[in-house]
Amino acid sequence: MSIDQKNVKRWVITAVFVVFLIITAATCFFTVDDKQQGVITTFGKVTDIADAGMHFKLPFGIQQVHKVDVNVYQKIEMGYRTDPSKPEGYVLVGDESKMITGDYNIVNVEFFVEYKISDPVKYLFSSYEPELILKNLIQSQVRNVVGSSKVDAVLTSGKELIQQQIKELITDVLATYDIGLMLTDVKIQDSEPPTEEVIAAFKEVETAKQGAETVVNQAKAYENAELPKAKAQADKLLQNAEYLKQRRINDAVEQIALFEAMYSEYANNPEITRSRMYYEMITRLMPGAKVYINTSENGVDMMLPLESFFESKSPVQQPTVKEGN
């Protein structure tokens, strides 16, 4: 063998060795981005988990890296599929959306479920096709909750409660299965009856409910406006009643004081007081008549005008004395 052939052979071996080293080095290093984790297996057994960055592994299939998107929220569509080519942007999947409620009505319910990978090792090696397991689990629990709910709740006011119940049930079952998935959100995209006639009927019911709420709100507004007026009027009536009560009490006290003063005078001069009370009563009963007192004593008649005793502003008239036989 000549020297040139030996040199060529040496260069070929060197080149092959260099290429081998390059390929080996290329297979020994790997990169994990910030949304992933790398599960490293050595001869098929999990030995390490690599976070974001560049890492080293043994070549020639001794160690393998399985990259898993752990920081990415993923979704499962139930009852529909997103399709940008369609005018509505989606297509319905009747086998998934059609359900029966607890009061034996058929409805179409479309769900949007969001989840993420919580444990990459269990996600990869604890089950076969964990997404399919999650999807079947969602279908089962959705039908379970919708099947125990009334149609009004499914179509109108009970959606939030249904979503919460489904999320709690799926979370509990996922904790039991332990397949490395975690449910983050459950949303009802849409729910409607399967026929146009039923849809129109439910729309009328919803319109009636909104009208009832409007009337209730108007009634409450009227109550809030009129109640202060009624309270003010009630306070006014109470104050007036209290005033009348106090006035009656004062009148009664005054009458008592007057009676006691009159009684005191009567006790001191019974005959004079009795006569005065009699004359005052006659004057009060006959205010337009003139009353004279005719007294005869020793053959002398005396005519005394009664009103002169009660006139405070006019001078007292002298009694007329009439001598008789």
Residue 322: pLDDT band (50, 70, 90) is: very low
pLDDT digits (tens, 9 = 90+) for 34-49: 999 999 999 889 899 9
Answer with the residue of higher pLDDT: 13 or 177: 177
Q: What would the two tokens of residue 100 be?
A: 């029966």
Answer with the residue of higher pLDDT: 4 or 13: 13
Strand 29-32 relative to strand 63-69, pairing: unpaired
Mean pLDDT of the 237-257 span: 89
46, 146: one domain: no
Examine residue 279 and state whether it is found in any structural domain, yes or no: no
Answer with the residue of higher pLDDT: 230 or 300: 230
102, 183: one domain: yes
Q: For residue 122, give the nearest of 176, 51, 167, 168 by alpha carbon.
A: 176
Give me the pLDDT at residue 323, please: 38
pLDDT digits (tens, 9 = 90+) for 46-64: 899 999 888 888 887 788 8
181, 210: one domain: no
Q: How far is CA 219 from CA 82, 214, 230, in A?
A: 45, 9, 15
Examine residue 20 and state whether it is found in any structural domain, yes or no: yes
169, 262: one domain: no
* Entry pTM: 0.55
Check: CB of residue 67 under 8 Å from CB of residue 41.
no
Number of structural domains in the chain: 4
Give me the pLDDT at residue 289, please: 61
Check: CB of residue 92 under 8 Å from CB of residue 110.
yes
Examine residue 277 and state whether it is found in any structural domain, yes or no: no
48, 78: one domain: no
Mean pLDDT of the 280-303 span: 62
Give 306: exposed, middle or buried? Use CB within 10 Å, 0-12, 13-18, 19+. Answer: middle
Examine residue 275 and state whether it is found in any structural domain, yes or no: no
31, 87: one domain: no
Q: For residue 79, give the nearest of 174, 154, 179, 168 by alpha carbon.
A: 154
Answer with the residue of higher pLDDT: 206 or 115: 115
Check: CB of residue 305 under 8 Å from CB of residue 319.
yes
100, 147: one domain: yes
Give me the pLDDT at residue 181, please: 93
Residue 166 to residue 143: CA distance in whole angstroms: 9
Examine residue 211 and state whether it is found in any structural domain, yes or no: yes
pLDDT digits (tens, 9 = 90+) for 133-183: 999 999 899 999 999 998 888 888 888 899 999 999 999 999 898 999 999
48, 144: one domain: no
Residue 110 sits in a domain whose CATH number is: 3.30.479.30
Tell me the CB-side half-sphere exposure of residue 264, using CA atoms within 13 A: 6
Of 43, 69, 95, which residue sits at a domain end? 69
Examine residue 56 and state whether it is found in any structural domain, yes or no: yes
Residue 319: DSSP 8-state: P
Residue 119: pLDDT band (50, 70, 90) is: very high
Residue 97: pLDDT band (50, 70, 90) is: confident
Give me the pLDDT at residue 115, please: 94
Task: Report which secondary-structure segment, H or E, holds 200.
Answer: helix 196-268
Ranges assigned E (strand) in the chain: 29-32, 36-42, 45-50, 53-56, 63-69, 74-78, 80-82, 90-92, 98-100, 106-117, 181-192, 292-297, 300-305, 320-323
- The helix-helix angle for 159-177 and 130-147 (nearest 10°) equals 140
Of 69, 97, 113, which residue sits at a domain end? 69
86, 157: one domain: yes
Q: Which residues contact 308 (CB under 8 A, 6 or more apart)?
A: 314, 316, 317
Examine residue 276 and state whether it is found in any structural domain, yes or no: no
Q: Which residues contact 291 (CB under 8 A, 6 or more apart)?
A: 279, 282, 283, 305, 306, 307
Residue 148 to residue 51: CA distance in whole angstroms: 44
Asked if the model's pLDDT at residue 5 lies above 70, the reply is no
Mean pLDDT of the 184-199 span: 78
Check: CB of residue 280 under 8 Å from CB of residue 310.
yes
Backbone angles phi, psi at 261, to 5 degrees: -65, -40
- Domain of 220 in residue numbering reads as 196-268
Mean pLDDT value across the chain? 80
For the beta carbon of residue 28, count every other beta carbon within 10 angstroms: 14
235, 130: one domain: no
Of 136, 167, 194, which residue sits at a domain end? 194
Mean pLDDT of the 184-198 span: 79
Residue 168 to residue 186: CA distance in whole angstroms: 10
Percent of the chain exceeding pLDDT 70 equals: 81
Give me the pLDDT at residue 317, please: 42
84, 181: one domain: yes
Give me the pLDDT at residue 324, please: 37
141, 228: one domain: no
Asked if the model's pLDDT at residue 120 lies above 90, the reply is yes
pLDDT digits (tens, 9 = 90+) for 296-318: 555 445 555 555 544 544 444 44
